[in-house]
Amino acid sequence: MSTITIPSRKLNNGLSIPGIALGGFGGFTDEDLLKAKDWFITGIQAGYRCIDTAQIYGTEKVLGEAIRESGIPREEIMILTKLAWHRGGDVQQAFEESLQKLGVDYVDIYLLHFPQSVIYEDGREPTADSILKNFKVVDKPDFNEMWADIEKIYESGKARAIGVSNFSVKTLEALAQTAKITPAINQVEMSPYLAQNDLVEYCEKKGILLMAYSPSGTDKVRSDPTIGALAKKYNTAPNQVTMAWHVTRGVVPVPKSTNPSRQKDNITLPVLSPEDMNTLNAMDRNERIINNPGPDGVLFGWTREQYGWI
């Protein structure tokens, strides 16, 4: 099998990042979060040099520990973390808390995690298992205001690049009305079932690098007969086919695996033929699997129209 040489991707501010990142969502229990340190370490040992976490993931502390215990110098590992959606009113303090938990004095990439702003109804900081409970969306601060505060962090030098997550063409256009700095990155759900071609074209035009979370599309996509046939053809696992599809499209996939063998597989990718890329492209059905609005068309307090998903 011919394998892809994983490329570096240059951001719009000149910073280069690895073409695949390790996902850092740890789970919803304290036990799961503590286990994350072990698979962060095996991921670093496997060769990942960009690791994705977030304030609401609860894995910043163990990621910092894993980096220090890995034997790899911190400056060789790119740390990406994200502003929690309920901390838009105190962005600077939230960012400093992330630095403290990570045990670093700067991050490489800092993202606005969601376009909406929320508050928790009990007024307390949510725990890992309550992040998605007992909150309501509020109008202020809006994402334009939160982005202005993130721009200040970039200007301070404590974040080498800044970007957004879960933004559409619609919300990126709205952000551009007030932004002084164009986001370097937009991290979104993307898989062969959700190719987001319009967003890919828009971000390429604007110089915004796309990163894909849940890039395999979960078991639903991995078990698709088309993926299975290509995995058999290339003598790989289904995940390796989908990761190769992302990389060939110019997207940075962010696979999360706790298994050392699969971590290595996810950065050992086949060179897909143009015909097989066309086959994978044809699988698009605009289907969200991870963050999919319910029957009422609402997800996390926003409609599809508010997200710009229609």
The H helix count followed by the E strand count for the chain is: 12, 14
Mean pLDDT of 194-214: 98
Catalytic positions: 57
CA dist 135 and 167 (Å) reads 20
Distance between CA atoms of 94 and 82, rounded to whole angstroms?
10
Q: Quickly list DSSP for 188-200.
A: EE-BTTB--HHHH
Q: What is the pTM of this model?
A: 0.96
Look at residue 215 and tell me whether its pLDDT is greater than 90: yes
CB distance 210 to 200 below 8 Å: yes
State residue 283's pLDDT score.
Answer: 98
- Statement: residue 80 has pLDDT above 80: yes
pLDDT given for residue 121 in this prediction = 84
pLDDT tens-digit map of 256-291: 999 999 999 999 999 999 999 999 999 999 999 999
**Nearest by Cα to 149 from 162, 139, 136, 160:** 162
